[in-house]
Structure 1
Amino acid sequence: MSVNTPENRSNRKLLIGGLLVVLLSINGILIYMNYQKKEKTEEQEEIIRVKNSELENQIKVYEALKSDFERQSQELQAMGLENDSLEAKIAAINADLNQLRGFRKSSYSLADQRRFRDRASAFEKQLKEKDAEIARLKEDNEVLYTENTGLKVTQNRLTDSLTTMKTTNKDLSEKVKVASRLEAQNIQVNIINQRGKEKEDDDNEYRAKRVDKIRVAFKLAKNDVAPKEPKTVYMRLIEPDGAALYNLSMGGGSFDVDGEGMYYTAKRDFVFDNTQQQLSFLYDKNAEYKKGQHTIELYSDGFLIGKTNFVLK
């Protein structure tokens, strides 16, 4: 049995005191470590904040650059000048902006910051050089505008005379064009049956089931105004439902009449020689013909030069 002697009591006090010192030391260490951790966290947060601020400022710089280059592009367009180089710069800035905005979700390193600052500086230098060039162009345009103003006075005096002459020439050209229009005369439609026998009817009426091919023959009227040159005549075979037969494999196609597209059934190239030459078309539909009234239209140089009808019963 231990005796509570003064020596034992003194030892316990020393032990308790030692434990307190150890606990206080540990607590101090923990407090210090927590402080260090907090400082490190705050330092990291500050670095991130600075980087984010730098990133947003850089984005604003690029957006301003883009706006200025677009302004230059519009100024050049207003002067009627090409601006392909500016469009290329705007495209490059857009690409950089996309990269910068992407850094909002990833790390924006110091190397990235230096790279984009250097590129922005280069763009700013190019921007200033282009502004100086545009200013010179505007000055040159002002000089040209002054010179042109003087020329316009003279030009306006000539315009009235030229307008009158053009109107007269246009009227004459239209009259010559109309006068040189060809005319198809004595248009005759004959049918050829499956045995190759050709039939002619003064009334242009035939039996549909006997038709294998159709021959359209005509002659061109004399025209001393029309130039002797190569020409093309288009034939349209219009069925009773109003649609023109049209088949590329059978020589069909399309042409323009007064700016309107029309389908033709067949065409023929020839040289007009003003000798009342005879022309003809031989058309094989390669299918059964419809019953009813058919129409033949002939066109050349954009004019309807002849028309006739025939009936298939």
Structure 2
Amino acid sequence: MSEAPSEKGKKDKIRIILIVAIAVVVLGSGYKIYTDQQAKKALQAEYDATRTLLTSKLDSISTELSDKISEIAKLGGDIDSLVAVKDSITAERDQLQRTRVANKALIQRLDRKVTGYEELLLAKDEEIAHLQAINSQLLVENNELKEEQNELTKTINEAQQKQQQLQQRIGLAAKLKAENIQVYNVNDRGREREGDFRQRQAQKVKVTFNLAENEVAPAGAHRILIQVIDPAGNVIFDVARGSGSFTVDGREIYFTAAQEIIFDNSQQALSFVYDKGTDFEKGDHKVVIWADNYEIGRTTFNVR
């Protein structure tokens, strides 16, 4: 038996209502999913933009901080804490670059830190200016000290030069000097003759002189040497007869005879007798007298 038309209509209406209700629910869920996805995309885009901006700021702060660290180090300031801050900035930048999913807490924390870092840079500008002022003052004081040191060094050098000159003058004044130098020919009978010698009579010579009065020269022992130099310029030299050598300015010099004396500033008279053993050569001879290592007098004699 078929349904009544009224009942059939009611069922159709109910079916339609259910279909519409289901469609509404499906459409609502789809719309919510769509809007949620769009919200997530917008949040991620905002996060990416903020992350890029913060990364750029951290890089800029790190670079500027490196410059300030170098400047403060040159000026002699303490940089240990700044180096630690720079290392922290590098670590935070790396963490931010690794965090790809939106992280609001991280962004807020780093944003606050960036503000603190910027304030730190400003403070370090003031510190650098202060250190520059101190260094400028130290440079001025150092230059003044250098000028004073140069003046002091100049004064000391001048005093030393004057002292050296004085010592040289004293040294020169203290040197002994031979005066009244005379040369005699002594013959076999011991007779002495002054002046030119005949060759056949000239085998032994006697040299006499006085040591000049000298109040500056200290009393003490001296070695007095004589050189008898032949016409060819050679020192008459015989070790067996008391000859020897001494050194002057690194050069070895031969002497004819020597004796040790004690200088007493009494114008003491000294005498040297040298027996050559053979005839002297004809011509002009020189007699050079030395005290220690410096010359104190000279004279000549002729053998004809």
Name the TM-score, length of structure 1 as normaliser.
Answer: 0.46
TM-score with structure 2 setting the length? 0.48
For the pair shown, the structure with the greater C-alpha radius of gyration is 2
